[in-house]
Amino acid sequence: MKYILVALALAGSIFAQAQENVLEQLLSSTSDSLLREVLRQPEQFQLQVIYTRIDRDAGNLPMFTSYYHNVDSNLYFYPASTVKMPVAFLALEKLNELNILGLDKYSNMQTEAARPPQTAVSRDTSAENGLPSIAHYIKKIFLVSDNDAYNRLYEFLGQEYLNRKLHEKGYDNLRIIHRLSASEFGVEDNRYTNPVSFYDGDSLLYHQGEVYSAFYPSLWLKEQVRGVAYMNDEGKSIPEPFDFRNKNFVSLQDLHDILLAVMFPNAVPAAAQFNLAPEDFRFLWKYMSMLPRESDYPQYQEWDSYVKFFLFGDSKGAIPDHIRIFNKVGDAYGFLTDVAYVVDFKNKVEFMLAANIHVNKNQTYNDGVYEYDEIGFPVLAKLGRLIYEHELKRPREHPPHFYYLK
């Protein structure tokens, strides 16, 4: 596929769309049998890929060139845990917008319950001080993709605020409308979000009562009703297609662009930026790239690639110290997604990569029978290595400096 060259100078950065699709060239020339098998069956695996090349000028300002493979922003896929990324970013933004003296991401966050099936949280034994906070929830989201941590931030934001704020920034090909791993919450239950209070010791800093959302998403998406059967919550097989119309969705392009906006905050229009302080960015970069074994609170036993699918997702070995991956993954219902900014500090390599693959051969949803290990994880790992090896050999006029990430 050919593209007309388009370049736009913006906030000291350049976005360009290349004349030749390097990604398609790399994919078409691969000798890997599994990648070739997946590429031969686009209707079954629905592999979507965005590869963004990053070049720097003499002042270290970035230029981005994006290449696409089968990206269809109107094709439904279940984003699973990738929705936690924009929720984490917005939770920090909301704290900044509240602008309350003494209230920050480390403040004691008490979640109450106003109605069934809501639940309250007053303690967090995984935190060093035993108390829940926005900061600790975000840490757990990026280290091991903790579902309850996401749910508590979803409740702090509220469904309507969450979606409205993202849409206002131009990320409008999405809907985030429910908690995760919480089947006891129906569509209407997810519109109600818990009361939340923040404290400094015994002093109340801020109280937010129960919130009801009147948000009604109006996305038109293809293939929101899928498959031949599904397993219900009682474990019974229902011989009907599975309905995703009341499930979350974020397009791969929006996921890519949201990550870019936080990794390169000055490279996007002001309207698309997140209102975060410099310390917020450093906090996010730290935990987006941290490995489970590097955490003291909580201490985790998960392997390095537990939530790092690109390059390393098909192995449980150690990730080299000079490579850091700032990312968010998701896997559920046979959909596997990773959106990442990859940095090799030793070899001065950097690139962005986002991909989604569908591995559900029996077309039955919620049965736990998916080809993650056989196809999904290996494909994303091989895809990451394919791009990384290309980047290692690619000449750069100005090697990048990563001083701000260290």
pLDDT digits (tens, 9 = 90+) for 134-156: 999 999 999 999 999 999 999 99
Assign 5 a pLDDT band (cuts: 50, 70, 90). Answer: very low
pLDDT at 10: 39
Average pLDDT over residues 263-276: 96
- Burial call 139-153: b when 16+ CB within 10 Å, e when fewer: bbbbbbbbbbbbbbb
Reported pTM? 0.95
Residue in the block written with tokens 């917008």: 97
Q: Which helix (DSSP H) or strand (DSSP E) does residue 327 occupy? A: strand 323-332
pLDDT at 16: 57
Alpha helices in 68-205 (DSSP H): 84-98, 134-144, 147-157, 159-168
What is d(CA 132, CA 111) in angstroms, rounded to the nearest whole number?
9
What is d(CA 82, CA 309) in angstroms, rounded to the nearest whole number?
13
Compute the mean pLDDT over every residue in the chain, rounded to the nearest whole number: 94
| Alpha-carbon distances of 339 from 59, 208, 264, 328, 383, rounded to whole Å | 27, 32, 15, 6, 12
The two three-digit tokens of residue 3, written as one number: 């593209």
Percent of the chain with pLDDT over 90: 93
pLDDT at 19: 62
7-11, 221-225, 270-274: lowest mean pLDDT where?
7-11
User: How far does Cα 118 stand from its chain's mean position?
Assistant: 25
Contact 103, 206 (CB under 8 A): yes
> Would you say residue 406 has pLDDT above 80?
no
Contact 19, 6 (CB under 8 A): no
> Would you say residue 20 has pLDDT above 90?
no
Q: CA-CA-CA-CA torsion for 378, 384, 389, 390, nearest 10 degrees?
A: 130
Q: Counting every residue, how long is the chain?
A: 406
264 three-state secondary structure: coil
Task: Indicate left, alpha or beta for 181 from its phi (over 0: left) and psi (-120 to 50: alpha).
Answer: left
Q: Is the model more confident about 332 or about 216? A: 332
Q: What is the bridge-based pairing of β-strands 13-17 and 62-69?
A: parallel
Q: Quote the longest CA-to-CA distance of the chain.
A: 63
What is d(CA 383, CA 240) in angstroms, rounded to the nearest whole number?
34
> Would you say residue 67 has pLDDT above 50?
yes
